A and B are shown apart, each in its own frame.
Chain A
Amino acid sequence: MNLEELKQIAEAEQEAVAPLENTVRVCVAASCLSSHSDQVKAALQSEVKERGLEHKCRVKGVGCMGLCAAGPLVEVAGERSTMYQAVTPEDAQAIVGSLGKEPVKALVLPTAQPFFASQKKIVLENCGIIDPDRIEDYIAAGGYEPLINALATMTPLEVIDEVKKSGLRGRGGAGYPTGLKWSTVQKAASEDGKYVICNADEGDPGAFMDRSVLESDPHRVLEGMAIAAYAVGANKGYIYVRAEYPLAVKRLRDAIRQAERTGLLGNDICDTRFSLRIEIRLGAGAFVCGEETALIASIEGNRGQPRPRPPYPAQSGLWGRPTLINNVETYANIAPIIRNGGAWFAGIGTQKSKGTKVFALAGRVNNTGLIEVPMGITLRDIVFKLGGGIPEGRKFKAVQTGGPSGGCVPEQYLDMPVDYESLAEVGSIMGSGGMIVMDETSCMVDVAKFFMDFCRTESCGKCIPCRVGTGHIHNLLSRISDGEADGADLELLERLCDMVRHTSLCGLGQSAPNPVSSTLRYFRDEYRAHIDQKRCASGACNIQKPAGVEA
């Protein structure tokens, strides 16, 4: 496989679609699938066949289009593009009938709104457009050209340089400079080989960015891993995927097979001496396995317990060898960076946070789904412009970012830019991109308790501070929530949070107190109300008011 042959495949694909007047794209990613979008696709296909329109119109399954709350989504692309929402199989007649004419008004989802118009898609640029089951579609969209160019015209060091120039930071949550990580692995000496691993464990409840990329554009991730493997000198790659994502696993397996058959993975790729085999490894329901060393332990067939760092995986990782671990979204940024250059990427975003970020908007917001926006956009724009504001006219209370390792950002910071540093300053983290919007019906004590319960159940049990500390912190939060706590409980709570944060072995324990300290910082009055007046203003807690106590 060389650039010539790749371009031929792309051309063949483009020729096949040239005579089409319309392409009907039906989302077949997990959310829409669960609303039976496969039946919608089948109905549209049979309607097209019945009317003898196959030569003019193609119905194809595509990945996530973003506005999951309005699914199943169907997009008619052609001279006039229209997006339809909440489509059922019964609508097939009307939709096919409207091709080339006025769209079906009742189903139209206006794309002029900020949710679509204010996004900047790099990671998600192919999602909702290409068919994730066909490598030809990916190639026709320019896929695998960056890889071939890198192998044929760049040295590994030049590749790393480009990534460094881009300023890309790890999208899994910590935001570690990707170019620097690659450089460290590249420099590490190894006679037994090196590994590249893709962390697709996506454990944060409320996050489904990685899932969408894997289901909608799996080749993008494979290409990123291949470029990375070339840069650091690895010949074996693993993708560690949650078992709870069976569709993503299937799409990845199919994609790997297709890439191997096309000569883009395997031995002597594109007639160079570079070889790469990629294998899938399944997670099995342990949030802690999103932590690098625990993930490595899991691939080795062990209990997913983290190891003390240093040594870092870049030096001594999988089976003691230098290992590069990056998140799905990080890899998905690589092909465009190599295609357009690091400087192009660095031109987007803020000074220290370059590029875009994919966020999963969920909770009390009108437009729940996936968005990709440039770093530096304000929280207000995300929640009220793209998100469409709070339903039922309720009042905004806070946004939870970063999952169980993050914090709640209250109203006074709505105009802050969303980037790594700013979020850290207000006591939260960027995390993997989960954003849960809360309104006045959410109780912050209840939210803190929810996240601490999560950390407690997911704690691996190896180190004492996290194993026992999260249990006691959860008990204290329950007592506060139930109206049974006093001032001494609050004091103990804060002492324990401080200790767990500074003495835990891994990131799970170290960041478990974040939701608690963040809600204490901005909503201390709610805690005090639960303690002093036995009152929960939002009504979410099950407080039994003792007789005679004033509300």
Chain B
Amino acid sequence: MQPFASKATTPSDDRRWKMVDATMRKHGNEPSALIESLHTVQESFGYLDEVALRYVAQSLRVPYSKVYGVSTFYHFFTLKPQGEHTCVVCTGTACYIKGAQRLLDTVGEAAGIKAGETTSDGKVSLLTARCVGSCGLAPAVVFDGQVAGKVTPDSVSQWLGKWAKPVESRAVVAQ
């Protein structure tokens, strides 16, 4: 198979590829559109898989190795599927001083995972961010996209408990 011989074909009928195409088109299908396009892929699919990387590389005429190099340089991008729920603990200076490590340890004890890992049942991913800009409310944690401030080990445990419940009973717990 020759790479880049002709126009790249969309990997599947999945409508999410249209979002990716739109981003690439918005930036003129130029090689410089790479990072913006990868952002759209990750937003739409949750992570960057090999199929997506090949498609973007062919569409933008960027060498495969360069696409891989860019995907792995930036920590925002992930090449592995994330868990159903994500818990991002901020490890910036203000949060560190206010005990971010204890929060990481709490998740470690309760769910058995370290930063960058996902629980074996695929339910929870633990990530760290170098600073989410909520330093006035340190320590901060982002639970499923929601920023929470002044987080304590107890509130972390509560979130984990909520996520561990099967969906039906979770509906009863939710407010």
State the A residues within 8 Å of B (CB).
30-31, 33-35, 67-69, 71, 202-208, 211, 243-245, 281-287, 298-304, 360, 362-364, 368-370, 400, 403, 434, 436, 438, 442, 450-451, 454, 457-458, 460
Contacts and interface: CB of A to CB of B under 8 A. Distances in A.
Interface string B13-36: 000000000000000001111111
Interface stretch (B87-95, B152-160, B164-172): B87-95
A540 B38 CA distance: 40
B76 A206 contact: no
Contact of A281 (B36, B92, B93, B129): B36
Interface stretch (B106-114, B118-126, B143-151): B143-151
Contact of A450 (B30, B35, B77, B96): B96
Contact of A285 (B34, B76, B137, B147): B76
Interface of B: 30-36, 38-39, 62, 66, 69-70, 73-77, 91-98, 129-138, 140, 146-149
B104 to A, nearest CB: 14
A284 B76 contact: yes
Contacts of B32: 299-301
A298 B34 CA distance: 10
Given A30-B147, A436-B97, A245 B74 contact: no
Nearest to B131: A205
A34 B134 contact: yes
Given A35-B149, A363-B94, A301 B34 contact: yes
A482 to B, nearest CB: 15
Nearest to A286: B74
A206 B138 CA distance: 9
A244 B133 contact: yes
14 contacts: A31-B136, A33-B147, A34-B137, A203-B131, A208-B134, A208-B135, A282-B36, A301-B31, A301-B33, A304-B73, A363-B98, A368-B136, A400-B93, A457-B130
Contacts of A403: 93
Given A243-B76, A301-B32, 19 more contacts: A31-B134, A34-B146, A67-B136, A204-B131, A205-B135, A208-B134, A211-B133, A282-B35, A284-B39, A284-B74, A301-B30, A362-B138, A363-B93, A363-B97, A368-B138, A370-B136, A450-B96, A457-B130, A460-B73
B62 to A, nearest CB: 7
Contacts of B135: 68, 205-208, 360, 362, 368, 434
B70 A205 contact: no
A202 B35 contact: no
Nearest to A403: B93
